[in-house]
Amino acid sequence: MEKKGNKKIKRILILSAILLFVIVAVVFFLMSQQINKYAEQDFTMVNISDIPNGVYEGSASALLVTAQVEVTVRDGRILRVNLPEHSHGPGYGAEAICDSIVKNNSPDVDSISGATASSVIIKTAVLEALISGETP
């Protein structure tokens, strides 16, 4: 009798592990699809010199990776990209992309190696902020 109980518990544990693996795989697949869609957008579509002085807010998300930014624009230049919120997976170091965006005066910069997903999300949040044209 005890062997049947152990087999049943073992079967439940195996099925639970398989289900968990499938859920994780689906989440990562959906996140990857969203990030690829963001990566294909034209990050040069905004002419910074046409944007009035101000601080612009934007955000972007792809399931497990999210970013909220505040972009300061003055005299046709991006002066600062503040990242008040950034949740990410293993993409540590993507915050450095904010400096690249300021230096190049554009969200059209190379992604940070090892943090591609976070880089794309931050660049998308900056683009969204510049397109929205809304200040807080």
Q: What is the pLDDT of residues 95-131, one digit of tens each?
A: 889 999 999 999 999 988 878 888 999 999 999 999 9
Helices 116-132 and 97-104 pack at an angle, to 10 degrees, of 50
Model-level pTM?
Answer: 0.79
| Identity at 22, one-letter amino acid code | V
* Cα distance between the two ends of the chain: 67
pLDDT at 64 over 60: yes
Nearest C-alpha neighbor of 68 from the set 51, 54, 55: 55
| CA 132 vs CA 12, 51, 129: distances in Å | 50, 10, 5
Taking a C-beta distance cutoff of 8 angstroms, is the pair 96, 86 a contact? no
Domain boundaries in the chain?
Answer: 1-136
What's the pLDDT band for 70 if we cut at 50, 70, 90? very high
CATH topology for the 1-136 domain:
Sufe protein. Chain: A (3.90.1010)
